[in-house]
Amino acid sequence: MRITVDRDRCIGSGQCVMTAPGVFTQDDDALVALVPGHEDAAADPRVRDVPMACPVQAIAIHED
């Protein structure tokens, strides 16, 4: 399972950070970023909820 983020779409709502704080963070511009080493979504089950929580569909999970 792989996470992809589309930073061009991101509006900095922080819903990803709120839902799975160990996996997602915000950079200095408050745009979505992955915590290094967490590109694989399998580590945290809450990640599955993030695409629905994101208000602009900037985050997708790919089943490999």
Partner 1 sequence: MTESEMRLTGSQTPSFPQDRTCPYQPPKAYAEWRGESPLTQVTLFDGRPAWLITGHAEGRALLVDPRLSSDWGHPAFPVVVRRTEGRGGLAFPLIGVDDPLHARQRRMLIPSFGVKRMNAIRPRLQSLVDRLLDDMLAEGPVVDLVSAFALPVPSMAICELLGVPYGDHDFFEECSRDFVGAATSAEADAAFGELYTYLHGLVGKKQAEPEDGLLDELIARQLEEGELDHDEVVMIALVLLVAGHETTVNAIALGALTLIQHPEQTDVLLRDPGALPGVVEELLRFTSVSDYLVRMAKEDIDVGGETVRAGDAVLVSITLMNRDAKAYENPDVFHARRTARHHVGFGHGIHQCLGQNLARAELEIALGALFARIPGLRLAVPLDEVPIKAGHDAQGPIELPVTW
Which chain residues interact with partner 1 by CB under 8 A? 11-14, 17-18, 26, 28-31, 49, 52-53, 55-57
Cβ closer to partner 1: 31 or 43?
31
Cβ closer to partner 1: 42 or 56?
56
DSSP string, the chain: -EEEE-TTT-----HHHHH-TTTEEE-TTS-EEEPTT--BGGG-GGGGGHHHH-TT--EEEE--
Q: Give the shortest CB-64-to-partner 1 separation in angstroms.
A: 26
